[in-house]
């Protein structure tokens, strides 16, 4: 705020800021559809706070600076928080952190304070209550005093224990989040389905947890970390660090990346180190939280009207860069969607060089008025998917060209179509070469038939040589045919043929997902396979039968029925069956507990899977996962940046497995 702003100007600007911030609160908290970045929102709030600090009589009871959040959305039962869920004050610089520390020490009347520093997860804040060890209620933050009852949705999360290890009555706070890889898959599926995309993992987590149908939340691959023990009956704790340890002991998932530090210099160094380290995490964080460790001192320091005096959030600077948008190209997805992609002057974002970025759909390009030749802001959604935030209009020269979405498919020239309820334009030509290429890539992908070696380059080579005209043709390929391809030798050919042959043993859910039926994801495919047992029974089911299956709604049911009615699809199924592809569901429990009496420790970053997903897989086959390596550990499952646990395993002679070696221990076709 300009220091010379007079009272009249300040009054008008404060009113404008209140209106802007309230609108963005509504978009963020109620509609789950934010329009601006966190950094832009924080700038608006700081400006209003500065005006109200200079002119205190301008502070109004309904000012955004006087409240924690936004009111609950209609459609949910409300829950009153017995202990308010306060928001945190923000720090953006080292100076802000030093000021916080000085304020704490002055209020406490001491020279030195010990702090706990934790990761600040970027998701949906929730409060859970356990009575005698049983989960009774879960709610969103809401306005801090009253939230929305989302107990049914929280119960669907594998990381939320329904019963604690000990029968405590307690209230705990946590953050529901969506892993980066899950977010990428969800948005890819939504883009193929012609649905609006989520802006970021936080937005996706909030939108998923605030669904009235718990099955939707259950299908989204969400997880939770707990970070604060708000109350507990019959236990006296002295430090926040002790409360984190107790939460872990009773079965609540606490992130291991927290430290106790005794000086503000150490805290500043720790925060700065996480600027780059955060990109290696499988989930998003937008900063760190610094809390006074001594619980008695926390109580003495108390709260302001909206935040605790004993804690502060250090926020990372926004990772956005500007570059030139050189062109917009169209690619065709496996379901025919025409996907616009920005071609950029190469620029480094979050540690990697980016030259292409998603523009999502024609409506978004028009709404943001993005033009070819614009200087644009680019960021990584979820730190993984480059996207164009918008143009820098003030830098336009007049030479920029408005973008016009093509009316025909760039691959086959067919007139594009758009359904009334979708944002995507599509190529309706089922014989379009792009649909076959993208369909084959999907068919061979990890969550589908998992054919190692059959990536985009190999698929393109097979199509260029006219060796494959549909999915089933893969199973009739020969070594002689593969050796005709450029840069394919005997070893490569034999490895690919073995991988293709191995995929015949997959359980039915993989085949269903691999077929690429619109709206049918991996979760829905598993539900269908478990319910019907065989492909024959699935193909005989009508819409009413299908809607009896968990996770299958009217839209998905109609899409499945429509798929079987296409003659070309029925011929494809017959070819796959004739090739020996399994069409039955292989119940994992019938395969035996291959990891019975086996203890694992997981460390490092695993390829394409979170540690929690790996843990669930081990437990599914009868194994046990512990947090530390000991002489009782049977295997260490190690990914990249394994660290001290790897050294400890090597010291004790504990066998170390890579992800690929671990998968090899499982029965063929069951993962």
CA–CA distance, 627 with 381 (Å, rounded to integer):
31
Q: Which two tokens stand for residue 302?
A: 């108390």
What is the distance, to the nearest Å, from the Cα of residue 411 to the centroid of all Cα atoms in its chain? 32
Name residue, tokens 């009347």: 109
Q: 168 with 133: CB under 8 angstroms?
A: yes
Q: How many CB atoms lie within 10 A of CB 276?
A: 10
Q: For 662, what's the count of Cα atoms within 13 Å in the CB-facing half-sphere?
A: 26
Name residue, tokens 């759909």: 361
- Specify the pairing of strand 385-391 against strand 375-381: antiparallel
Ramachandran assignment for 595, one of left (phi > 0), alpha (psi -120 to 50 degrees), beta (any other): alpha
Torsion of CA 290, 293, 297, 301, to 10 degrees: 10
Q: Single out the catalytic residue among 7, 120, 215, 502.
A: 120
**Most distant CA atoms of the chain, gap in Å:** 85
Name residue, tokens 């199924």: 573
Beta bridge partners of 228: 173
Nearest to 545 by CA among 530, 561, 534: 561
CA–CA distance, 168 with 235 (Å, rounded to integer):
9
DSSP assignment of 87-144 equals ---EE-SHHHHHHHHHHHHHHHT-S---EEEEEEE-SEEEEEEEETTEEEEEEE-TTS
537 noted as active-site residue: no
For the chain, the first-to-last Cα distance in angstroms comes to: 58
Ramachandran assignment for 56, one of left (phi > 0), alpha (psi -120 to 50 degrees), beta (any other): alpha
Burial pattern 282-318, b for ≥16 Cβ within 10 A else e, equals bbbbbbbbbbbbbbebbeebeeeebbbbbbbbbbbeb
Q: 199 with 34: CB under 8 angstroms?
A: yes
Burial class (CB in 10 A: 0-12, 13-18, 19+), 270: middle
Q: 439 with 429: CB under 8 angstroms?
A: no
Q: Which two tokens stand for residue 616?
A: 């669930």
CA–CA distance, 289 with 271 (Å, rounded to integer):
9
For 130, phi then psi, to 5°, come to -115, 135
Nearest to 121 by CA among 318, 303, 281, 306: 281
> Alpha helix (H) ranges present in 504-534?
508-514, 522-532
- Specify the pairing of strand 90-91 against strand 311-315: parallel
CA–CA distance, 27 with 171 (Å, rounded to integer):
29
Nearest-5° Cα angle at 570, 565 to 571: 140
Residues labelled as active-site residues: 120
């Amino acid at each position: 705020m300009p220091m010379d702003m007079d009272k009249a100007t300040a009054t008008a600007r404060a009113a404008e800021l209140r209106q802007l911030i309230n609108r963005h609160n509504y978009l963020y908290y109620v509609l789950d559809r934010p329009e601006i970045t966190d950094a832009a929102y924080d700038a608006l709030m700081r400006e209003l706070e500065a005006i109200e600090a200079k002119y205190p009589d301008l502070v109004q009871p309904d000012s955004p600076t006087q409240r924690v959040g936004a009111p609950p959305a209609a459609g949910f039962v409300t829950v009153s928080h017995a202990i308010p869920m306060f928001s945190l004050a923000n720090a953006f610089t080292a100076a802000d952190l030093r000021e916080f520390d000085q304020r704490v020490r002055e209020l406490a009347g001491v020279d030195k304070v010990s702090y706990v520093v934790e990761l600040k997860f970027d998701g949906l804040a929730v409060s859970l209550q356990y009575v005698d060890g049983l989960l009774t209620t879960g709610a969103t933050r809401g306005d801090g005093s009253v939230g929305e009852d989302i107990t049914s949705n929280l119960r669907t999360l594998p990381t939320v224990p329904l019963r604690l290890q000990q029968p405590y009555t307690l209230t705990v706070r946590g953050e529901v989040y969506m892993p980066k890889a899950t977010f990428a898959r969800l948005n890819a599926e939504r883009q193929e389905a012609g649905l609006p995309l989520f802006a970021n993992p936080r937005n996706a987590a909030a939108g998923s947890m605030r669904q009235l149908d718990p099955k939707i939340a259950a299908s989204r691959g969400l997880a939770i970390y707990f970070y604060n023990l708000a109350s507990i009956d019959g236990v006296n704790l002295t430090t926040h660090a002790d409360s984190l340890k107790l939460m872990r002991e009773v079965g609540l998932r606490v992130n291991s990346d927290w430290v106790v530090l005794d000086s503000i210099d150490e805290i500043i160094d720790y925060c700065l180190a996480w600027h780059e380290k955060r990109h290696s995490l499988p989930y998003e964080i937008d900063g760190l939280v610094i809390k006074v460790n001594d619980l008695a001192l926390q109580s003495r320091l108390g709260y302001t009207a909206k935040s605790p005096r004993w804690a502060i959030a250090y926020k990372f600077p926004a990772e956005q860069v500007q570059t030139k948008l050189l062109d917009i190209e169209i690619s065709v997805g496996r379901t025919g969607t025409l996907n616009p992609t920005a071609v950029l002057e190469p620029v480094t974002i979050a540690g990697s060089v980016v030259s292409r970025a998603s523009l999502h759909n024609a409506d978004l390009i028009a709404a943001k008025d993005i033009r070819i030749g614009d200087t644009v802001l680019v960021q990584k959604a979820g730190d993984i998917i480059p996207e164009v935030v918008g143009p820098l209009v003030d830098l336009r020269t007049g030479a920029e060209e408005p973008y016009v979405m093509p009316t025909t498919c760039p691959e086959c020239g067919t007139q594009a179509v758009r359904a009334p309820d979708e944002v995507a334009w599509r190529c309706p030509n089922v014989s379009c070469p792009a649909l076959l290429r993208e369909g084959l890539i999907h068919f061979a992908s990890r969550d589908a038939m998992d054919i190692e070696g059959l990536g985009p380059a190999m698929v393109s080579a097979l199509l260029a040589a006219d060796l494959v005209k549909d999915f089933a043709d893969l199973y009739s390929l020969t070594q002689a045919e593969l050796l005709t391809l450029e840069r394919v030798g005997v070893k490569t050919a034999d490895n690919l043929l073995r991988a293709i042959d191995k995929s015949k043993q997959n359980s039915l859910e993989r085949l269903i997902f691999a077929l690429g039926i619109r709206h049918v994801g991996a979760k829905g495919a598993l539900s269908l396979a478990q319910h019907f047992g065989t492909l024959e029974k699935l193909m005989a089911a009508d819409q009413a039968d299908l809607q009896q299956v968990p996770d299958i709604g009217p839209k998905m049911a109609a899409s499945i029925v429509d798929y079987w009615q296409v003659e070309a699809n029925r011929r494809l199924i017959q070819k796959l069956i004739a090739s020996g592809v399994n069409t039955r569901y292989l119940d994992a429990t019938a395969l035996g507990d291959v990891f019975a009496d086996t203890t694992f420790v997981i460390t490092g970053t695993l390829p394409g899977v979170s540690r929690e997903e790996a843990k669930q897989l081990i437990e599914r086959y009868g194994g046990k996962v512990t947090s530390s390596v000991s002489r009782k550990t049977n295997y260490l499952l190690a990914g990249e940046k394994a660290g001290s646990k790897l050294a400890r395993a090597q010291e004790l002679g504990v066998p170390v497995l890579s992800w690929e070696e671990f998968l090899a221990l499982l029965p063929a076709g069951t993962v």
